[in-house]
Chain A
Amino acid sequence: MVSFTPTDEQQLLLDTIRRYAVNDMRGAAHEADEASEPAHDVVRTGWQLGLIPSAIPEELGGFGEMSALTGVLAAEELAFGDLATAMHVLTPALFAYPLVLFGTAEQRENWLPLFLEERFVPATAALLEPGIFFDPYDLSTQASSADGQICLNGAKAYVPLAENARVMLVYARNVETGSVDAYIVEKGTDGVQIEKREQMMGLRALPTYRVHFNNVVVDASARLGGAVGSDFTVLLNRSHVALAALAVGVARASYEYARDYAKQRVQFGKPIAQNQSIAFMLAEAAIEIDAARLLVWEAAWKLDQGEDAAREAYLAKQYADQMVLKVADAGVQVLGGYGFIREYPVERWLRNGRGFPTFTGMAMV
């Protein structure tokens, strides 16, 4: 039966996140962005929503409810609050979810209980690489194996929370098979060199780093999924829908703000929203946000059904990438000069929104 109504449980979760987004995230976002520093207490509160523990299998102490659909619902709501904090709170999933999906029993037992702790535990993944023309299926970071050990070489970019991460998942091209594999690399491993923080147009409150791997040697058992390995396409699909959901959240934030502003701002004796040129921009935004959300939901639903959702996930991501730019851009225009002033959030949403085509692999459901 076709339906667009979330379950009662999902609705409850959404209401909780909405309160957190409005009460906690929104209030801290501007300062955090200006200071290029995470709002740590807000991250802590966000962690306590228990999003990641709920996806960890029951036998390891979690709730065993790994659902892409629930994940995208939550992601949109978090990004509606603030993208940097949303991605911060969700960064440990970059490490945890691939283990839930493909980890060996040993990998899961070793690492997943870490994320059941009360406090935020930084863990991350490294996929993006420096330079232009990134292709996730054509990585220059390489993994070669010899004598039951694996040697990693290459450079990664935009690795969130790399400096503090207890452990990270490093994506590399397996030189023997040519496929993309992921490897578990613990903090302090020899040859891992974390550079100083990257400076970006947006997402300023999220610390990301360039990381070098110089002959980093890990045990063969560090390969995600062990001898069986993992399915990179599935991971990438889950990342695509997560990012697309975050984009919808950013767009909705900008749209709702601009809509309310346009009803208040009076010029020529009436609210600016009473002009078709403003009202139509907002109507357009409303449609495009809904359209992107539905693409995300369908892809996530397919993932949960265990169907091949590669095309859906890809199209949803592409659509949302463009949509968020268009909507956030309209948000700035509706506010006129004020839209350009950093005290008003719409310019931040435009800076953050423009990043989505770049953020490949930086979120996961």
Chain B
Amino acid sequence: MAISFEIPENVQQMTQATAFMAQTYMRPYSRQLDENEHERPKEFVEAMWPILRDQQKATLDKLTRPANGDGEKKKRSSAANLRLMLLVEQLAWGDAGVYLCLPSAGLGGFAIEAVGTTEQKLRFLSRFAEGDKPVWGAMAITEPGAGSDNSSMSTTAVFDEATNEWVLNGEKIFITSGKLALEESNGLVVVWATVNKAAGRAGIKSFIVEAGTPGVSIGKVEIKHGIRASDTASIVFNNARIPADNILGSAEVQATKEDKGFKGAMATFDASRPIVAASALGVGRASLEFVKEKLAKNGIEIPHNLPYHKLTAIQRDVLEMEAQWKAAYLLTLRSVAMMDEGIHNSLEASMAKLKAARACSWIAQKTVEILGQMGYSREWLAEKWMRDSRIAQIYEGTDQINTLIIARRILDYTRRELA
């Protein structure tokens, strides 16, 4: 290995193609979808479904392909996570809310990848790999009483031996694409629930709930500050019955401290936090490019060869915005490159997500300030990007929760030692 920032040729091509999609199928509808909150981004969904479906199919085909003749499969370094990061960054540049409407397994897919058996991956993910109609997946952890402290969740899963089924009861809130997954397509939701509240974290397991399951209903559909095109819904479980083998991973509640079920959720975050970071970067870059373009039109260039005392306040601001964006981008790049190399990246994933979310919110807010009344006006998209960027500091662990995770790691502290 050697330190390198070289993006492989084929990934660069993919990135360019995605930039075109974002420009064509997202930007033109951005304002309209923001103003009409629960309207669906049809053009985008139709354009993306065949691509994402075929990608998912290719991934699943790899699972079923027999191992190489020589037995030992050569471990080729992949760029899968890098690809995804750059794809999402481009799409979020197009529109962060619309990006979240991607017809795919979504966060649910991350969970199935992280915890599911091969058989489960094939069974649950194939719906995202076939057919003409788009399908959505979602992931449900948050509850009214369990947000940052999601291990205190109270949705229960009780095993009914008579019917060989799990019975779910409780309410999940703020679920991205929850309605799309359960009501508007033949999708699924990965639901985290406790099989034994007394066991704490060890009792938390994840379950696949498919569209059409009796006893599952969509409750409130939220109206939001930003990412308005994205569907955020609550899901109510009222004696919802699902097959015994819809549990991801093992049903055992380990007597040891090995809280594997919950660790599954955490492993999901190692993969998904860099992607949230990427989505923040996309919005940040949209703002930054826009403000630079407007400044250039007004004769203001942003130099990189002047000392501090020769820079105007605006130039200083924009240079700082650029540096912050780049720092966040590089932290994110590192977190995905580590995944691709098979190196454990929990710390780096949290760092990337925290930095990117914070930096890009600030960039978007600064853009509104610099552009003055036009920044504030709904005529331009700057104000929308400011609202869209803000969510990255809240979901997938708030800024504070990610700081806490980082602090525990660098200090080598347990949850009890640093609460």
Judging by beta carbons under 8 Å apart, are B411 and A263 in contact? yes
Judging by beta carbons under 8 Å apart, are A291 and B305 in contact? no
Judging by beta carbons under 8 Å apart, are B341 and A3 in contact? yes
Judging by beta carbons under 8 Å apart, are B410 and A274 in contact? no
Judging by beta carbons under 8 Å apart, are B418 and A6 in contact? no
Q: Which residues of chain B come closer than 8 Å to A4, judged between CB atoms? A: 3, 334, 337-338
Judging by beta carbons under 8 Å apart, are A274 and B330 in contact? no
A11's nearest neighbour on chain B, judged by CB, is B1
Give min CB distance, B296 to chain A, whole Å: 15
Judging by beta carbons under 8 Å apart, are B330 and A294 in contact? yes
Q: Is B364 an interface residue (CB 8 A)?
A: no
Judging by beta carbons under 8 Å apart, are A284 and B403 in contact? yes
Judging by beta carbons under 8 Å apart, are B351 and A290 in contact? yes
A1-B334 CB under 8 A given contacts A283-B407, A291-B327: no
Beta-carbon contacts under 8 Å, A231-281 to B: 233, 259, 262-263, 273-274, 276, 279-280
A6-B330 CB under 8 A given contacts A134-B307, A135-B307: no
| Most chain B Cβ neighbours within 10 Å, of A273, A284, A294, A311 | A294
Give min CB distance, A304 to chain B, whole Å: 10
Binary CB contact string for chain A from 111 to 134 against chain B (1 if under 8 A, 0 otherwise): 000000000000000000000111
CA distance A318 to B82 in the complex (A): 27
Give min CB distance, B142 to chain A, whole Å: 22
CA distance A301 to B7 in the complex (A): 13
Judging by beta carbons under 8 Å apart, are A319 and B2 in contact? no
Q: Which residues of chain A come closer than 8 Å to B340, judged between CB atoms? A: 2
Q: Classify the secondary structure of A's interface with B.
A: helix
Judging by beta carbons under 8 Å apart, are A298 and B407 in contact? no
Q: Which residues of chain A come closer than 8 Å to B7, judged between CB atoms? A: 2
CA distance A176 to B359 in the complex (A): 45
Q: Is A292 an interface residue (CB 8 A)?
A: yes
A69's nearest neighbour on chain B, judged by CB, is B3
A3-B4 CB under 8 A given contacts A284-B403, A295-B323, A319-B327: yes
Give min CB distance, B303 to chain A, whole Å: 9
Q: Which residues of chain B come closer than 8 Å to A213, judged between CB atoms? A: none
Q: Which residues of chain A come closer than 8 Å to B132, judged between CB atoms? A: none
Judging by beta carbons under 8 Å apart, are B307 and A136 in contact? yes
Binary CB contact string for chain A from 1 to 40 against chain B (1 if under 8 A, 0 otherwise): 1111111001000000000000000000000000000000
Judging by beta carbons under 8 Å apart, are A314 and B305 in contact? yes
A282-B407 CB under 8 A given contacts A134-B307, A273-B418, A301-B5: yes
CA distance A3 to B8 in the complex (A): 11
Q: Is B404 an interface residue (CB 8 A)?
A: yes
Q: Classify the secondary structure of B's interface with A.
A: helix
Q: Is A287 an interface residue (CB 8 A)?
A: yes
Interface size class of A (residues with CB under 8 A): 35 or more
Judging by beta carbons under 8 Å apart, are A5 and B406 in contact? no
Judging by beta carbons under 8 Å apart, are A279 and B418 in contact? yes
Q: Which residues of chain B come closer than 8 Å to A137, judged between CB atoms? A: 305-306
Q: Is B309 an interface residue (CB 8 A)?
A: yes
Give min CB distance, A301 to chain B, whole Å: 5
Judging by beta carbons under 8 Å apart, are B323 and A273 in contact? no
CA distance A302 to B408 in the complex (A): 34
Judging by beta carbons under 8 Å apart, are A273 and B319 in contact? no
Give min CB distance, B75 to chain A, whole Å: 14
Give min CB distance, B175 to chain A, whole Å: 29
Judging by beta carbons under 8 Å apart, are B351 and A287 in contact? yes
Give min CB distance, A308 to chain B, whole Å: 10
User: Number of contacting residues on B, CB 8 A?
Assistant: 48
Q: Is A95 an interface residue (CB 8 A)?
A: no
How many contacts between A and B, using CB within 8 angstroms?
135
| Most chain A Cβ neighbours within 10 Å, of B310, B355, B407 | B407
Judging by beta carbons under 8 Å apart, are A314 and B304 in contact? yes
Judging by beta carbons under 8 Å apart, are B403 and A2 in contact? no
Q: Is A101 an interface residue (CB 8 A)?
A: no
Q: Is A297 an interface residue (CB 8 A)?
A: yes
Give min CB distance, B320 to chain A, whole Å: 8
Q: Is B79 an interface residue (CB 8 A)?
A: yes
Q: Which residues of chain B come closer than 8 Å to A1, judged between CB atoms? A: 4, 6, 8, 77, 79
| Most chain B Cβ neighbours within 10 Å, of A137, A290, A310 | A290
Q: Which residues of chain B come closer than 8 Å to A283, judged between CB atoms? A: 403-404, 406-407, 410
Judging by beta carbons under 8 Å apart, are B2 and A295 in contact? no
Judging by beta carbons under 8 Å apart, are B1 and A3 in contact? yes
Q: Is A315 an interface residue (CB 8 A)?
A: yes
Q: Which residues of chain B come closer than 8 Å to A165, judged between CB atoms? A: none
Q: Is A226 an interface residue (CB 8 A)?
A: no
Q: Is B278 an interface residue (CB 8 A)?
A: no
Beta-carbon contacts under 8 Å, B279-322 to A: 304-310, 319-320, 322
Q: Is A286 an interface residue (CB 8 A)?
A: yes
CA distance A357 to B5 in the complex (A): 27
CA distance A357 to B408 in the complex (A): 32
Q: Is B379 an interface residue (CB 8 A)?
A: no
Q: Which residues of chain A come closer than 8 Å to B188, judged between CB atoms? A: none
Judging by beta carbons under 8 Å apart, are A295 and B330 in contact? yes
Beta-carbon contacts under 8 Å, B1-53 to A: 1-8
CA distance A136 to B307 in the complex (A): 8
A137's nearest neighbour on chain B, judged by CB, is B305
Q: Which residues of chain B come closer than 8 Å to A6, judged between CB atoms? A: 1-3
CA distance A297 to B334 in the complex (A): 12
New A-B pairs, 18, CB < 8 Å, besides A297-B3, A301-B3, A302-B5:
A10-B2, A69-B3, A135-B307, A136-B307, A259-B411, A273-B413, A279-B411, A279-B413, A283-B410, A287-B351, A290-B348, A291-B327, A291-B328, A291-B330, A294-B331, A298-B5, A301-B5, A314-B304
> What 8 pairs between A and B have smallest CB-CB spacing?
A294-B330, A291-B327, A5-B1, A279-B407, A283-B407, A314-B304, A283-B406, A2-B337
Q: What are some 20 contacts across the A-B interface (CB < 8 A)?
A: A1-B4, A2-B5, A3-B3, A5-B3, A7-B1, A137-B305, A273-B411, A273-B413, A274-B418, A279-B408, A283-B406, A286-B406, A287-B331, A287-B354, A294-B327, A298-B5, A311-B304, A315-B304, A318-B319, A319-B327
